[in-house]
A and B are shown apart, each in its own frame.
Chain A
Amino acid sequence: MPETAVTALWYRRLVLALLLAPALLWLFALIILPHLDLALLSFRERVAPRQYVVSLAQYRTFFGEPLYWHVFVRTALLSALATALTLLVAFPIAWIIAKLARGRMSALLFVVCLIPFWVSETVRTLGWMILLRESGVLPALLVHLGITRQPVELLYHDATILVGLVYTSLLFMVVPLVGSLESLDNALIEAAYDLGGKGWSILREIVIPHAAPGITAGCIVVFMLTLGNYLTPTLLGGKNSQWFTEQIYTQFITRFNWEQGAAFGFLLLALSTAMVWLGLKISGQRFSDVMRRA
Chain B
Amino acid sequence: MISSSARCALMVFLALGLLAGTPARADAAKVLRIITWADYVPAEVVAQFRKETGIQVEVTLSNNEEMISKLRATGGAGFDLAQPSQDRILGAQQEFGIYKPLDTSKVRLDEFVPELLATVRTNATLGGRLYGLPYVWGTEGLVYNSKRTRISDYQDLCKPELRGRTAVRLKRPTLMAFALASGTNPFALYGDTKAYTALMQQVGKTLAACKANFRFFYDNKDQLLNGMRAGEIYAAMMWDSGGWALNRENPDIKFINPRSGAIAWMDTFALPARGRNDAGAYAWINFVMRPEIAAKVARSIGNFTAARGADQLMDPRIRAQFAATFPDGLKNIKWYPAIPSGLEEIEGGVLDRVKAAD
Residues of A within 8 A of B (CB): 25, 29-30, 33-34, 36-37, 40-41, 49-50, 65, 67-68, 70-71, 133-135, 153, 156, 238-239, 242, 247, 250, 252-257
Contact = CB atoms under 8 A, between A and B. Distances in A.
B187 interface: no
Contacts of B211: 239
A87 B147 CA distance: 48
Q: Which of A49, A239, A242, A257 has the most chain B CB within a 10 Å cutoff?
A: A239
25 contacts: A29-B12, A33-B8, A33-B9, A37-B5, A49-B94, A49-B95, A50-B97, A67-B352, A68-B352, A71-B356, A135-B231, A153-B164, A153-B215, A153-B232, A238-B215, A239-B355, A242-B356, A247-B352, A250-B352, A252-B69, A253-B69, A255-B348, A256-B68, A256-B72, A257-B348
Nearest to A254: B65
Given A29-B12, A242-B356, A256 B215 contact: no
B44 to A, nearest CB: 29
Contact of B3 (A25, A40, A134): A40
Interface string B36-61: 00000000000000000000000000
B71 to A, nearest CB: 11
B322 interface: no
B336 interface: no
Contacts of B355: 239, 242
B8 to A, nearest CB: 6
Contact of A29 (B13, B68, B170): B13
Given A50-B97, A135-B232, A253 B5 contact: no
Contacts of B12: 25, 29
Q: Classify chain B's interface size.
A: 35 or more
A255 B95 CA distance: 12
B216 A67 contact: no
Nearest to A41: B3
B345 interface: yes
A130 to B, nearest CB: 11
Nearest to A255: B348
Interface string B268-300: 000000000000000000000000000000000
A133 B232 contact: yes
Interface in B1-51: 3, 5-6, 8-9, 12-13, 16
A267 B65 CA distance: 24
A151 to B, nearest CB: 9
A135 B233 CA distance: 11
Contacts of A135: 230-232
Interface in B196-239: 211, 214-217, 230-232
Contacts of A65: 349
A42 to B, nearest CB: 12
B5 A36 contact: yes
A239 B95 contact: no
B9 A254 contact: no
A50 B95 contact: yes
Contacts of A25: 12, 16
Given A40-B3, A134-B232, A254-B65, A156 B8 contact: no
A33 B215 CA distance: 42
A255 B171 CA distance: 10
Contacts of B230: 133-135
Contacts of A134: 230, 232
Nearest to A237: B216
Interface string B327-358: 00000000000000100110011001101100
B103 interface: no
Contacts of B5: 33-34, 36-37
A254 B170 CA distance: 11
Given A33-B8, A37-B5, A133-B230, 5 more contacts: A30-B13, A40-B3, A70-B356, A153-B164, A256-B72
B252 interface: no
Given A135-B231, A252-B69, A255-B345, A239 B356 contact: no
B95 A34 contact: no
Contacts of A50: 94-97
A26 to B, nearest CB: 9
B341 A49 contact: yes
A40 to B, nearest CB: 7
A123 to B, nearest CB: 16
Nearest to B94: A49
Contacts of B171: 254
A252 B66 CA distance: 10
A36 B3 CA distance: 11
Interface in B54-97: 65-66, 68-69, 72, 92, 94-97
B232 A34 contact: no
Contacts of B344: 255-256
A134 B227 CA distance: 10
Nearest to B355: A242
A212 B3 CA distance: 44
Contacts of B72: 256
Nearest to A133: B232
A133 B352 CA distance: 25
A294 B62 CA distance: 39
A253 B65 contact: yes
Given A156-B216, A238-B217, A257-B348, A33 B95 contact: no
A3 B358 CA distance: 76
